[in-house]
Structure 1
Amino acid sequence: MSVQFNKGYLHRYGALFIILIILFDLFFIIGSFKGVLYFLEIEETNDYLFTLALTLIIFLTFAMSLSFYRSFRTTPILSEIGELFLYWGSTFVSISTLVYLFEQKMPVSSDILVLWFSVSFVCLAISRFVLRTVAYSLRKVGHNFRRVAIVGHTEIGESLFKSIQSNKWMGLHFVGFFDARNTKRDARLDQSFSHEQFEVLLSKIARNEVDIVYITLPMSAQKRIQMFIDQLSQTNVAIYYAPDFYSFDLLRASWDSIDGQPLVSIIETPLLGDNNLIKRLMDIFISSAILLVIGLPLLLFAILIKMDSKGPIIYKQKRYGLDGKSFIIYKFRTMQSNPEDQVFKQAQKNDSRITKHGKWMRKYSVDELPQFINVLQGRMSIVGPRPHPLALDDEHQALIRRYNLRFKVKPGITGWAQVNGYRGETKTLECMNNRIRYDLEYINKWSVYFDIKIILLTFKSVIKPVNAF
């Protein structure tokens, strides 16, 4: 027997459902507060009740002003939990500040606040997981679905279809592709897909068989898009337009606005605002800790370099950094010092210029350790695209498309390209092209967790080095 797909109560009574979620949140916050006081055997005074009431007001102000209470149908659960942590954490900071400033009127100890906020967050997060589990269980038997149609059999339309099909938890039931053309617009499209005429979609909408319509036509088809919107706006379906921004090769795309005018960033750095602060604090903490640990070994390496050959211990060279501005990079010297050699030449396998100790230093990236000083100076980061010699950058800027986009973030001691095997000499243009591809992928996907993943993978690549000589 086929499953009957229907919207269900969660859609028909959406406003009531949101109110229930808010009430549940308040219940968990109040319940955890009373539970903590009971556990610690603390009397519930008017001062505590005042703090509780103020907390509820601040939390709801943050959450409702930033549209936290909305449909998370197409949002992964971890993203929802992340938003919850942001708003509840902001509330914690606000209340802690007020308690500190008005200690006499709000005599609540920091231990109580930390325990209360921790217990509340766990309860709120668990409630989200339970709600998602219930909603998904309903969707498995055909309830609480939204029926979606795609207007425009295009590449981005097929991509959207595949996302809907592979994320069943969203509860979206695909009705079909619809277009005004009789033939497919691109030979590269999957030939197994077919589409019906737009008039068929209108008849399905009239029979209440479609809830959402996604328009995936190219932006060049403005007149046809407007025609479809005009006709669909006479119905009760929700209408979304999926612009094909991918044709612009986006880098960290995001939405913005100026005085209500929507804008989309085509190319931007991921390290703006709090992201920049978090990464900088992470760089300072890690580089400081590492320099404290390797202080004595650095002194030993310096002595070995001095005994091995004549020349400076630290090799200094100009590199391009953030926004293409040059800086001086520090490395242990691993080659014979030759002031007359002014022509840049990449180190090669069995390079005669490499010193005896320089060989193993380069293999296990010991020569890179002084760059933690560059990180403390703010000129580099722990993780980022590896900085190239200026001559190498100048040579490839004209040869590789989007090469300069790697300068949107600070260069790093280690990077996504390096842990994927693209380190050392770049013999061919294809090799450099692949390295840049990984660099741009890192910028597009940047997150704190991604940085931590790369740092952990770096330890593996140091133990079993590839292309290091």
Structure 2
Amino acid sequence: MPEADRILAAASTAPPAAPELPGPAVFSHSRLLRAFEAFVEPLATVVSLWLLVWTFEGALGTRWLVVSIVAFALAYPGRQQLRASAPRVIVDTLLGWAWTCGLLFGLGYATGHLDDFPRPIVLHWLWLAPTAQLLSHWALRQAAPHLIRLQGPPLRAVVVGMNEQGGSLADRLSLAHYTGVELLGFFDDRTPDRLHGRNRHRMLGRIQEIAEYVKKHNVQLVYLSLPMASQPRIKLLLDALKDTTASVYFVPDMFVTDLIQGRTDSICGMPVISVCETPFRGPNALVKRGSDMVLAVAILLLLSPLMLGIAAAIKLTSPGPVIFRQRRYGVWGQEIIVYKFRSMTVTEDGAQVLQARRDDVRVTPLGRFLRRTSMDELPQFINVLQGRMSIVGPRPHAVAHNEFYRPLIKSYMLRHKVKPGITGWAQVNGFRGETDSLEKMEARIRCDLDYLRNWSLRLDLYIIWRTIRLVFKDGAAY
């Protein structure tokens, strides 16, 4: 019996760890609210103009469309005012509108078209636009709690190190509205009497206890506020957190470590540096999901006759279901169900799952062909449409394999910061098929982490191209 299977069999009685809940990093407030704030002021400016034009002229001509486009461009993106006081919102809105009016009048005078616009509409717009902007800010402030709830439960966060910057961050998280973040408390090795009055927040435990706490309580955000002199201790802590799917941020000062998608951001006005983060945030998330949907729909439409033929052949050549469903870990460590065409006489999905090996008697004759050509994976394009998987990403492992390898391989769980893929960087670099030794699985994980560090749409397309070529000449799958 190979080493991996022997140890896995011994560990099969160990209960699986509870899957972590998803949670992208949250900054000054939620991305949904930031998107609304970016558009609410420019839209209020343009809509107020349109109402006046329709009231006075009954139709929106070309000249007004040009003014609308220019006004929108000058006002976009709108200022983030949710956390500002009412007097500050009023002053900022009036100053911003005065600046916009000055530019519009200057442009009209310079081009000689200022007299082309009816004076009543212009004069009414001078007071109606800022009024509409203030009303839109007020409406967004009223709607903000409901928009936050639409995004799901708040993300759980902890702060490590109750020093000056850690205490300031904890205070801001506790007092800030609209963040979608729930501060659970902080970790520090000092006793409360040594914190010199900074113990305003709940003490959760010592620093060496944080990794277990993060896994047990489904913590999504970890903010490290430790001095640079603690670098060895920080590295040990980061190693422990790599067995979780929490997003880790460092509150400066900075140190050298193995960053995954390292970038600077801010939360409640304080700068933080991501140590380990998903590459699929903001526009990247839209690009990734959009490309997945387009390619998955096209492939399913193109290959649907082939898939129906495979389903009929499986049903006629061996007893059992056509589709094999198996539990795997998806993004953020959540359990998902993955579909495959059944290629074996068994459908294992328990505490012990043995990988297929060369000349495995469990593989059917048809299944051997399907596995060699990767046609058994075709139903996973349905998983892509469901949002459980991506076309390119780390291959999902059976739950039993995950629980076996996560304590043995450093950073193993970081591969779950993205959706699992039908194909991946490891598969096109020779790590497809059975991983009968710990070294092979470690090499596969290194490839997965390299993919997280270097993701781009171009890399995804390159991996898809390499996969198509590999299907016809790869001998590693059986």
Higher relative contact order (CA 8 A, sep 6+): 2
TM-score by length of 1: 0.49
